[in-house]
Structures are given as C-alpha cells and as structure tokens.
Amino acid sequence: MLTAPTPTYEPLGSGADGGWEPARRNPASLLEKIVRLSVSAGAIDIASHETFDGERLFEELVPIVRELLLDTLAFFERILDTYSADADDPESPGPAGEGAERTSGERIADLAFLGRLELRQKMAGLTGLPATADSWRIISAAGSCLRHIQKSLAALEAVIAQTVGIKPVLNSNDDTTQSLAARQAYAGFRRQLREVSRMTDISDRLQGAATCISHLFDLPVYRDLRISDRVQLRRLLERILRWGGPAQHHEAGERIWQDLSACATLLAEISKRQELQEHDERTCQEIRRRLAATPDLPADVRPLLASLAGRDEELDDRLFTGREIDRGTALAVVQRLLPLKSRWSPRAHG
C-alpha cells in the first residue's frame, strides 16, 4: 500500500522551538520535502482505481490521499510558522540585503497560506463524501486533491529555488508536453472514430467505438488525461457494454453514438488551452521561417508538423498514415492555423 512519506526535516539546534531551524537557513531541506511530497502524489495512480466500486475506493484510495493531504498541510504549517513570523517582525535584525530576502519570504508565506487554504477545502470535500457516493465522484475528488497538491508544491518550489539561484526540478514534464501528448492521443481517437462512423450497422459502429475507447485507455498518456474526460469516456463505454442490441434498443444505440460523436468533438477543444495556443503559434511561425529559407521541405519541419497533431484533419490524415508531406502542404497548414494577425511579418506591411 502506498503511503505518504515521513517528514524529512531534522532538528538542528536546541532552542525552545524543539530544534526547528528557520526554514530559510536550510532551503535544501525544504526543496527535498517538496519534491518528495510531489513525487508521492504522482505515484498514486488514480487510473488504476477507476474500475473499483465505491466501497473499495473508500477503503483503499481515500485513506492514502487523505494521509498525503495531512502531510502536505503539516508542511505548509511549518512554512508559515517560519516565514510569517519573520515577515511580521519589522524589527527583525539582519544583514544588508535582508529586505530582498524578506520579500521572498513574504511570497513564500503567501503561497503556503493559499496552498493550505485550497488543500483544506479539498480535504473537506474528500472526507465529506457520503458513503453512497458514486465511484466516479470519489475518483474525481481524489484526483483533484492530488493535482492541487502538486500544483501548490510546484509554485512553492519555484519561489524557494529562485531565492537560492537553482533551477526547479518539478514540472520538468511541463504542462505543454503533457497537453501535446493528450492532444495527439485525442486526435488518434477521433480519427479512429471517423473510420468507424462509415459502418452502416449500429452494432458494428458501437463495437468499433468500444475498441477505440479501450485503445485510448491502454495508452501511457491515459493517466495524465483530465479526469472529467476519462469519466465521460468510461461512462460511454459502460453504456455500450450495457446496450441490448439493435433488435430491442436501436434508438438507444443511436443515442449512444450521437453522444460519442459529441464527446469526440469536445475532446478537440483541448487545443484551446493557453499553453497549446502559444505552442502552435510559435511552431507555425518557425515552420514558415524554415520554409522561407529554402525551396524544398527541410527534414526538420516534419517533427514540427507532428507536434500540431490534432489541429488539422488533413494534416492528421497524413501524419497518422505516414503519407508524404510536401512544401505546399506544410505551407497550407501554417496558413490555416496561424491567427490572421500573425500571418504577415512587419516587413510585409512596411
């Protein structure tokens, strides 16, 4: 059974505070604890619990998440005890340059305060679930707790790391990387579903759709998909498996198919995420720059085009089938995807 890690702080000194050394004097200890807590949150595999019933989730998942929440909250309390006390003492002595450190300390205290507030709310939501709660409601609450733990820890680490001049280690697999992988997975799913949609028999279509969903579940990126998306896909798969067949429930089968199509359309909206919009504009500008430098299609353009999977159906068809992408196709993709204001350089206007 996975449990949250034990505290990593060691008493240093013999003061009335039980040996607790002010945190800012030992940032390495803070950063170690932050990383350990974040890694523990990431190690709890919510996806592997999605087939459990509510009773089993309350027995196996909820206690692990609750224990990790308690450890993280206790850590934030320690941060506040140290940094809030120093920030609230205007006569606290210190060497030259202390003002800059105090500013950093206030930022750290603010982040710890906000993190503690949010996690207390998440704790109340998790522990307040009724015994009759739907399994997906439990999954969603637990997943939300883990995401907020990692988000608040990453924000805190970034500020502490900045104060000592080192690079943060959390979010090395950043939001953009995860979003790109999720968009590519959704693009593959939608393309498979379009192939299935050509079947005339509703039984064949739903069976094919069930296979598409199951394939998506098997991808490594599945555990990083939004829980709300996973819940919707799981419920659609359950409806397909419960469907009684065309002889008895033809209309119900068509409704399931319509809901599947609507779900696939909503998944495409992942491209509206800010990090993906920024990535796509940068990528299109870089593709255009490289195309302008040569009459041929540079070999290093195709990987850039591949990162746009999920934005353009024509491009997706070529990427997923391995078909040739020529210079004209690449340029047309850029023209379709670039915002109108970004299609011309300032030189073109002047």
Query: What tens digit of pLDDT does each residue of 310-336 get?
Result: 999 999 999 999 888 999 999 999 999
Angle at 165 between CA 159 and CA 169, to 5 degrees: 65
- Nearest CA among 233, 338, 223, 219 for reference residue 287: 338
DSSP string, 37-52: HHHHHHHS-GGGGTTS
Instruction: Mark the ranges of the chain whose per-residue pLDDT is less than 70.
Output: 1-25, 85-103, 171-173, 340-350
C-alpha–C-alpha distance, residues 104 and 173, integer Å: 26
Residue in this structure with the two tokens 């982040």, named with its chain if needed? 111
Sign of the CA dihedral running 49, 52, 56, 62: positive
C-alpha–C-alpha distance, residues 134 and 280, integer Å: 38
Instruction: Write out the two tokens for 178.
Output: 């995860």
Q: What is the pTM of this model?
A: 0.69
Please give the CATH architecture assigned to the domain spanning 23-164: Up-down Bundle (1.20)
**Do residues 69 and 122 lie in contact, with contact meaning Cβ atoms separated by under 8 Å?**
yes
Burial 268-292 (b: 16+ CB within 10 A, else e): eebbeeeebeebbeebbeebbeebe
Instruction: Write out the two tokens for 280.
Output: 């796509």
Instruction: Write out the two tokens for 61.
Output: 């998942």
Residue 86: what pLDDT?
53
Calculate the CA 125 to chain-centre distance: 21
**Do residues 119 and 148 lie in contact, with contact meaning Cβ atoms separated by under 8 Å?**
yes
C-alpha–C-alpha distance, residues 45 and 118, integer Å: 22
pLDDT tens digit string along 88-145? Answer: 555 544 444 444 444 678 888 899 999 999 999 999 999 999 999 999 899 989 999 9
Residue 85: what pLDDT?
60
Burial class (CB in 10 A: 0-12, 13-18, 19+), 346: exposed
Torsion of CA 157, 160, 166, 168, to 10 degrees: 10
Cα distances from 12 to residues 3, 15, 19, 31, 74, in angstroms, run: 26, 9, 5, 17, 19
C-alpha–C-alpha distance, residues 82 and 316, integer Å: 53
Domain ranges (residues) in the chain: 23-164, 175-272, 275-349
- Nearest CA among 111, 77, 81 for reference residue 21: 81
What single DSSP character describes residue 133?
Answer: -
Residue 245: what pLDDT?
82
Contacts of 60 (CB under 8 A, 6+ apart): 1, 49, 52
